[in-house]
Chain A
Amino acid sequence: MTFDFNMMNIFLLALFLAAGVWTVLTSRLLISAIGLAVTSIMLTILLFLMKAPLAGVFELSVCAGLITVVFISTISLTKPVEKSEVLQLKMKRLKRFVFLPLLLFLAAWVLFAKPLHLTNPAQVPVEQTTLQHVLWFARRFDLIGQILIILTGVFGVIVLFKTKTGQAEKQDNER
């Protein structure tokens, strides 16, 4: 590691912290969300310099991109809802659990019928392996957790937009 590289890292770390402080101190929520994206970009550059390009790409695309979109959507969607819409949502509460038995049956069938081979076949020390090897062999169990978490996120996004569908249905009924 050269001295210049070290100084550049420290400069980027300072910018990273400055962007974080700006995010916290700014009064407008939209500017705060943009500040968060800038913090992510600084972290991405640091990750690239620390020879972690894949993590950098994930940070840039997911954290600086997707999460900023989620925040801006949340800020724009926070508007009042009418009482009639709340009652309509309560009436439909039980309908959400219709597919639960089917999903439980499918999950049980996959878990019992198909062996998942979760044992660790890699005996190579982790510092000598590539990221692909670590993810697919040494940390295979993490991938299953990630898949489950992504599914949870899908349901989170459905929750994010579910009332909008209710409003659209109401508008259709009024017509």
Chain B
Amino acid sequence: MSGDMSTFFSISVIFAVLMVFTALYCILTSRNLIRILIGLELMTKAVTLLLAVGGYVSGRMALAQSFIITLIVIEVVIIAVAAGIVIGTYRHTNDLDARKLNSLKG
């Protein structure tokens, strides 16, 4: 790995980790279910960046792209299902507060 490439790799990893921290902050401090989903989405963006940088630096971009496409497919399905659950929860509790999800009856 050349010097420039090594620097780019290090900086990209730092930015990806910062993005993960941002998303974690969002998930931990938010009580709104939609905002928690947005945090989850941001975390997958950081993982996508890590996969792309890993593939770019190692010269295995085709493999990295296949992993990224798989990740995107999984991501969109998780969001679609979670959005359905959020709407169902809202229609039962009339609220999007995650603290009120302490009843598993029904």
Contacts and interface: CB of A to CB of B under 8 A. Distances in A.
A85 B64 CA distance: 47
B26 A135 contact: no
A1 interface: yes
A152 interface: yes
Counting contact residues on chain A (CB < 8 A from B), the size range is 35 or more
Interface stretch (A72-80, A100-108, A111-119): A72-80
Most buried by A among B12, B55, B83: B83
Contacts, number: 196
Interface string A7-49: 0011001101100110110000100110010011001001100
Q: Give the secondary structure class of B's interface.
A: helix
B58 to A, nearest CB: 8
A131 B62 contact: yes
Nearest to B37: A71
B52 A47 contact: yes
A135 B66 contact: yes
